Each structure stands twice: as structure tokens, then as C-alpha cells.
Chains A and B, each alone.
Chain A
Amino acid sequence: MFEEGSIFNQLLIERLNYFIYVVLLLMGLWAMIAKNNLIKKLIGMSIFQTAIILFYVSIGVKDEATIPIYLPEHDPHGSHASTEHNDTGTFSPQVLEASKVSGYTNPLPHVLMLTAIVVGVATLGLALSICLRIYRGYGTVEEDDLLLKLEQEDYRNARGFKKRRPRRRPSSTKASSGAAQTASSEKSKSGKTGQVNRRSRSKPPAKKSESSATSRAKKPARRRPRPQKPKEGDS
């Protein structure tokens, strides 16, 4: 099974590196598709990116070649420069001939992959900030929970429920909570509305007054007049 020329020999012994890169690519790709948690997906994305970068860099490898920095004898500023090029003894750099060129690793893939690594970290930062934002909005970063919440929201929107008001400024409820509580006690709790833009308060009024009381204690009184909430009830 392991003789010369068979598939196993070719893949696993001669080109072991490429085979491992393929395995890493597959792991990253699978993680991006199948994992539930968004952070795991991002880790999968990073694994995928680094595997690609690994593949690129290994294209430029040459057997028994040194790093792509000039050796002292070819160095334009080197002190052990050979003086055979110039009779006055000063070294002027010459274009390397082909035999010397093959002694250096190919610098072009390194350059491209430097850019790729830095762009990869920028992408990771951006993706993490979007994850944080999702967590702030929905309270979870698991994909199935997110899909469930989105479905519920779509259902509510389709049936005409109004979105719960995000509790952005607790002090705004102070001005309007008095009017809102009387209004909400009249409205039906189910919130099944057709044409009106009433708010369906899903929070019980008692909790609202306590929270607005505590928030009132925290924040100073607002001077700016806030718009009354039921005003937007009229068309």
C-alpha cells in the first residue's frame, strides 16, 4: 500500500504538508458552517485564513535556500563585499546571476501574506464587534436561539404587534409613564391592533414605576421637555 507512486505514498509521504493544509481548510470550513456559537464560527474563520496563508507561503519554499535577506557577500552595504566588481575597491551592487538567485527563498509570497495576516486581524476585530452588538441586541450569540428570536420578531411584525420600546432613557418614562400607565391599563394586553399605533406594554406597570423611581434617583431631573408618548398615537 505504501509503495512508490501509489496514492497514499504521494499524498501522505511526499506531499504531507499539502495534505495537512487540506485537513486544516476542511476543519475551518466545517466550523464556519456547522458550529452554533458565533465565536466558534469566527475561530473557524481564522483557522481557515491561516491555513490558506500557510499554503501560500509554502509555495515559495526552495530546498536548501536561505532566508530572503542578502547574505553578507551580496549585501549592498556589507563590509565583506567582494571587490572583484570594481578596481577602486569600493563595492557597487550588481545584479545577481541565476545561480545565486536560486539560493534565496522566494520573497513574493511572503509579501502577499503579510498583507493577508494584517487584513485578517482587522476582519476578526470587525466581526467580534458585530458579535458584541448582536449580544447587546438579542442577549445571545448562539445561532439557533438567534434564529428563534428573529422568527418571533417576524411573527410579531407580521401580525401587527408593535415592537417593545427599547429602554434607552429611563428618565423619559418618568415624564410619560403617568400617561402611559393609564393608557395601557385600558388597552388590551394582547396588543392585537389593526390600525392604531398604540404601544402594547408587555411589562407590568408596577415594575415600570419602580425602575423609573430608581432611575430618577440616579439621574438628575431633566430640563429639556421630552415629547409626550401618547402624542405619536395620533396619526
Chain B
Amino acid sequence: MGLELYNAMILSLLVVVAALSLAIRDLVVSAMVFGVYSFLMCLLWAEMGAVDVAFTEATVGAGVSTVVLIATIFNLKRKAKD
């Protein structure tokens, strides 16, 4: 019961975070929220028993993907039109 509750909570948070990341206009904030999305994925996989996948997503999602996204956005305009 506890695990299912945990699952349901993280999944609903996941949907909310994904929607936020797409709706926010400031691109740097959007990239940060995408980092949060990666981290929630990592937690979900760790709960499911996929520890290697969780480790990889933690390093790649938060370490490289988010940083590279923010580094690119600094070279572009920061505010999206929609």
C-alpha cells in the first residue's frame, strides 16, 4: 500500500512538472524544471528496482542534459514567445 501510494504521488508530480516545463516562458526556468523531471524519473526507477537505469538517469539527466540545455540557452534569447 505504501509503495503504491508513493508511485501514485511521484507519477502525479511527474505530470505536473512536465506540464510546467512546457508552459513556462522563461527558458532557463524551463530547463531547470526539466532537471526536476529527470530527478523524479530517477526516483521512480529506483523504486521499481531498476537501479542501473536510475543511476544513469541521475548522472545523465541532471548532470549533463540540464547543464547543456542551460548552456545553450545562454547563447539564445531567454524568453520564448509562447
Contact = CB atoms under 8 A, between A and B. Distances in A.
Direct contact of A and B (CB under 8 A): yes
Interface of A: 16-17, 20, 23-24, 27-28, 31, 35-37, 39-40, 42-44, 46-47, 50, 53-54, 57-58, 60-61, 65-69, 105, 109-110, 113-114, 117-118, 121, 124-125, 128, 131-132, 135, 140-142
Contacts, number: 120
Given A50-B41, A65-B49, A118-B60, A128 B68 contact: yes
A6 B8 CA distance: 20
A70 to B, nearest CB: 13
A17 B7 CA distance: 8
Interface of B: 7-8, 11-12, 14-15, 18-19, 21-22, 27, 30-31, 34, 37-38, 41, 44-45, 48-53, 56-57, 60-61, 64-65, 68-69, 72-73, 75-77, 80-82
- Which secondary structure characterizes the binding site on chain A? helix
Contacts of B34: 43, 46-47
A40 B80 contact: yes
B37 A44 contact: no
Nearest to B71: A128
B60 A117 contact: yes
Contacts of B45: 54, 57
A39 B72 CA distance: 9
Given A39-B27, A141-B77, A113 B53 contact: yes
Nearest to B21: A43
Given A114-B52, A121-B65, A124-B65, A39 B76 contact: yes
Contacts of A27: 15, 18-19, 22
A61 B45 CA distance: 10
Given A57-B48, A135-B75, A117 B57 contact: yes
